[in-house]
Amino acid sequence: MASLTSSSIGRKYAMALSAFFLLSFLILHLVVNLLSLFGPTVYNNASNFMGYNPLVQFVMQPILVAGVIFHFVMGFVLEIRNNAARPVKYGVNNPSENSTWMSRNMIISGLVILAFLGLHMYDFWYHEMSYKYIEGLPVEQERFWTDLHSKFQSPIRTGIYIISFILLGLHLAHGFQSSFQSVGARHPKYTPALKAFGNWFSIIIPAGFIVIALFHFLTQ
Ligand code: HEM
């Protein structure tokens, strides 16, 4: 682990590995929450399984939280080091010719996602942890769908969520292919296909989250 984070290449590699892990979490998270579109029963069943399964709660969840924190801390470290190592400022270097705005501003989209996660953890995760582990309330099969649905009563919260999902899409659009580059996955035949897949991924995943938010907002 120390060798992964002590060199510049190692840090990029570690950042990419944490990104792959978070990408797979996003797919699972989207699939589980999309179930809420099919009504309370199916969503409550899935949430009960995830919410009370010891492997999910005491192994996967701490690994996920560590992965999220690692990704953000490493993102800041890379940003600070890149800025310090850059001899010519962008104004002189004509950056728009060499890179996209998004690739140069991953830290901005990352910060928006971090702020979103603060709100999101408060909305769902803190509430869930408090219910189960602080207040120690009994298993209540029906609560998950109603809790989720009621969060999207507010147009402001729904709007903040949707804006965050758009920024998530922009972050993924660059992050996806950059992660593969960082681990050295380059091939004349497969790289264009991977790039195209990354572009679709960064549209479909946030669009799925937007559909969930809009569905619950519009069906209040
Ligand atoms: C409309 C979209 C979304 C809905 C309805 C939703 C719903 C939820 C719910 C219900 C939980 C609590 C799970 C539990 O602990 O029982 C949760 C946790 C979490 N969500 Fe989301 N989520 C959405 C989008 C996102 C996005 C886009 C991200 C990442 C950028 C994200 C990251 C997380 C994380 C890191 C947790 C805590 C880990 C966990 O307990 O699973 N969520 N979300």
What is the chain's mean pLDDT, rounded?
90
- Residue 28's closest CA among 215, 205, 216, 212? 205
Asked if pLDDT for residue 3 goes beyond 80, the answer is no
Average pLDDT over residues 111-121: 97
Average pLDDT over residues 194-212: 97
* Ligand 1: centre distance to CA 106 (Å): 21
Under the banding of pLDDT at 50, 70 and 90, the label for residue 1 is low
Percent over 70 (pLDDT), the chain: 92
Q: What is the 3-state secondary structure (H, E, C) of the chain?
A: CHHHHHCHHHHHHHHHHHHHHHHHHHHHHHHHHHHHHHCHHHHHHHHHHHHHCHHHHHHHHHHHHHHHHHHHHHHHHHHHHHHHHCCCCHHHHCHHHHCCHHHHCHHHHHHHHHHHHHHHHHHHHHHHHHHHHHCCCCCCCCHHHHHHHHHCCCHHHHHHHHHHHHHHHHHHHHHHHHHHHHCCCCCCCHHHHHHHHHHHHHHHHHHHHHHHHHHHHHCC
Average pLDDT over residues 191-212: 96
pLDDT of residue 161: 98
Asked if pLDDT for residue 184 goes beyond 90, the answer is no
Gyration radius of the chain over CA positions: 19
Nearest atom within ligand 1 for CA of residue 68: 35
pLDDT of residue 101: 77
pLDDT of residue 94: 63
Domain ranges for the chain: 2-218
The residue whose CB lies within 8 Å of the most ligand 1 atoms, and thus the one to mutate among 18, 125, 134, 204, is 125
The residue whose CB lies within 8 Å of the most ligand 1 atoms, and thus the one to mutate among 120, 140, 164, 212, is 120
At 138-161, the pLDDT tens digits run 878 789 999 999 999 999 999 999
pLDDT of residue 204: 98
Model pTM above 0.85 = yes
* Ligand 1: centre distance to CA 77 (Å): 25
pLDDT of residue 152: 98
Please answer whether residues 36 and 145 qualify as being in contact, where contact means their C-beta atoms are separated by less than 8 angstroms. yes
* Ligand 1: centre distance to CA 125 (Å): 7
Higher pLDDT, 179 or 132: 179
pLDDT of residue 87: 62
- CATH number of 2-218, picked from 1.20.1300, 1.10.287, 1.10.1060, 1.20.5: 1.20.1300
